[in-house]
Structure 1
């Protein structure tokens, strides 16, 4: 695929893409999941999970910088040969399709609960997928510009709402500090890392980055903003309800914003505002995932455009999204998905690829 300079993204666009793709599903459910794993110490687990996720991103950067003009698809072929490399590339296709399916189902369930109570899940899922697919047909630079417009406003509104929630918090609910067994710490980190997933799209975006030398700086601030936003949500939810109560909630972030008072005026149903903002962030995440899968298939089949492949994946996403019986089962499937499938595609496979290519490079240098 030939990449024009107009299709490349700036350093700031890399930053907003990272924030957009990471702040998706996780922000709505994270307080409950980390409370179940680490009780009142969720804030500490979020920080560690964010740092470890950034270290994994550094590995991804190192792998892709072996040849910055190639994606992981071509690097897999170089490392393992055409046949095995293609098989491993299809694993990434399956990964993003499953990820998109679970995300779509959670969005449909949440939208049905708070916004479209009489609309069937099937209708919500189809509408969501086709809206995202339409935008995903465009290039990465267009989508990055969309994120530039949407993301700063969304983050600002969440911060403002959090400020008005602050007055009713009881920070004694965060005590005792760091009183957590090592096993719970590890479990909590594993749960938290799922909420940072999405950054792995840069395994496929590196050829589109204009200033590759500034990507680490953009990623650092992208992770920093995401970590701080997650910290605010987790700390505020725990301080407001207590870890025991948060564990029982399906939508703890929405519960946090159910009662917001501004200048002694109670805003009715502010959670509807939060759901609407959250749906915009998940739209951007889904758009990026659909486009990424399309780009992967376009490179596997060596075609110039990815548009056709964006729509091919929709039936599979739709069918998979209907498999879980309810939102609780969907969340459980996502936990298994992040522990096993994501661990392989995001960490192990890039690491093995990097080691294999490094060994091949040294052997070739030794032979010459």
Structure 2
């Protein structure tokens, strides 16, 4: 594993785009609908709070990774709590990445079926998407990072397209008065934003591959990626909130696509469908990240890693065959959320605390 990391290094520049692409996906398109249920016009505040919470966890990650700079998440668990308990925790870590990847794929397929290919069977869309994702996830992280850098240009396309929507009517009264939803509802909305921003935990697998990982610039890069994502999400929630009333947002599954749908030109119509056709790539990058993390969490030798990716891709395909009515997806999403809080927030925090209390770090065994 150490030899692989030596040959397969990534730069801080590439890490920035790896984290951005890992966090942005299908959840962005429906986030304004999810947040407004509780936070109403204060949904943009909820996203800012979620970004602050992510930054807090990044500080925890950074402190933990500084103590174990060449170890991945599932190796740190065994280093801190021992082999037996570490393997037990790693089971939850692996299951989390598989289930989150499966949920992202299900939502991806549902979106494509609803907006682009209503007559195409979901399993065909799933097979095509996962085949491409498996092909990229098998590659070295350096190659994945280069692809993610190129794919970021498509995110800029979404921002540019949204600028055109400012020519449509806007009602700032929809977000006034600020704070009228109450602190409780704003915090409930931040929970939805936080779940949509998941993907930053991939840092626990990316960091060992870093060049110059000991420099403070790495943490600045990670923080800048989080700031970019937070501002990006806040911007789109805000522009959606001032474009549609609360009643309208309640009836829209993907408000951002509805926002783009209102844009038309003499030579171009249905900008939303053109955009969605391009947005397939950024939505797929998050699935690639979860395939990568799930396969790496098995701690296999490099020669066995491609087989693990293929097997995990097949597992995701089987998950997508589950009937995808709204009730089942909601229940699935709820349980995945609970597991994500355990894997993304609780376990790393406990590992950091235990590593300090037990004075464990990467070189502790040699002393």
User: What TM bracket, shorter-length normalisation?
Assistant: over 0.9
For residues 41-73 of structure 1, the C-alpha deviation after alignment (integer angstroms, 9 at most, x for no partner) is 001111111111121122112112111011122
Distance 1:159 1:229 in 2: 8
Note the C-alpha offset of 1:159. 1.7
For residues 65-113 of structure 1, the C-alpha deviation after alignment (integer angstroms, 9 at most, x for no partner) is 1110111222111222111111211211100110111111111111112
* Matching residue within 198, 217, 220 for 2:220: 217
* Matching residue within 232, 242, 246 for 1:239: 242
For residues 269-312 of structure 1, the C-alpha deviation after alignment (integer angstroms, 9 at most, x for no partner) is 11112212321111111112111111111x1x455541110011
Q: Do structure 1's residue 317 and structure 2's residue 320 form an aligned pair?
A: no
For residues 14-64 of structure 1, the C-alpha deviation after alignment (integer angstroms, 9 at most, x for no partner) is 110111011112211100011012001001111111111121122112112
Q: Which moved more, 1:220-229 or 1:30-39?
A: 220-229
CA 1:261–1:362: 2 relative to 1, 3 Å: closer
* Matching residue within 213, 236, 255 for 1:252: 255
SS of match in other structure, 1:313: helix
Distance 2:187 2:48 in 1: 13
- Mark the runs of 5 or more structure 2 residues left unpaired by the alignment: none
Q: Which moved more, 1:167-176 or 1:47-56?
A: 167-176
CA 1:143–1:362: 2 relative to 1, 3 Å: closer
- Mark the runs of 5 or more structure 1 residues left unpaired by the alignment: none
Contact 1:191 1:335 in 2 (8 A): no
For residues 129-174 of structure 1, the C-alpha deviation after alignment (integer angstroms, 9 at most, x for no partner) is 11100111101110000111110x2232112111110122222211
Contact 1:259 1:268 in 2 (8 A): no
Distance 2:323 2:176 in 1: 36
Q: Do structure 1's residue 193 and structure 2's residue 191 form an aligned pair?
A: no
For residues 180-224 of structure 1, the C-alpha deviation after alignment (integer angstroms, 9 at most, x for no partner) is 223212211111101110010111221101132222111122112
Q: How many equivalent pairs are there?
A: 360
Alignment correspondent of 1:333: 332
Question: What is the root-mean-square deviation in Å for CA atoms of aligned residues?
Answer: 2.0
Distance 1:305 1:315 in 2: 16
Contact 2:106 2:324 in 1 (8 A): no
CA 1:56–1:91: 2 relative to 1, 3 Å: same
CA 1:132–1:307: 2 relative to 1, 3 Å: same
Contact 2:155 2:282 in 1 (8 A): no
Note the C-alpha offset of 1:337. 2.0
SS of match in other structure, 1:226: helix
Alignment correspondent of 1:155: 155
Alignment correspondent of 2:52: 51
Q: Which moved more, 1:243-252 or 1:196-205?
A: 243-252
Alignment correspondent of 2:305: 306
Distance 2:99 2:271 in 1: 32
SS of match in other structure, 2:4: coil
TM-score, normalising length from structure 1?
0.92
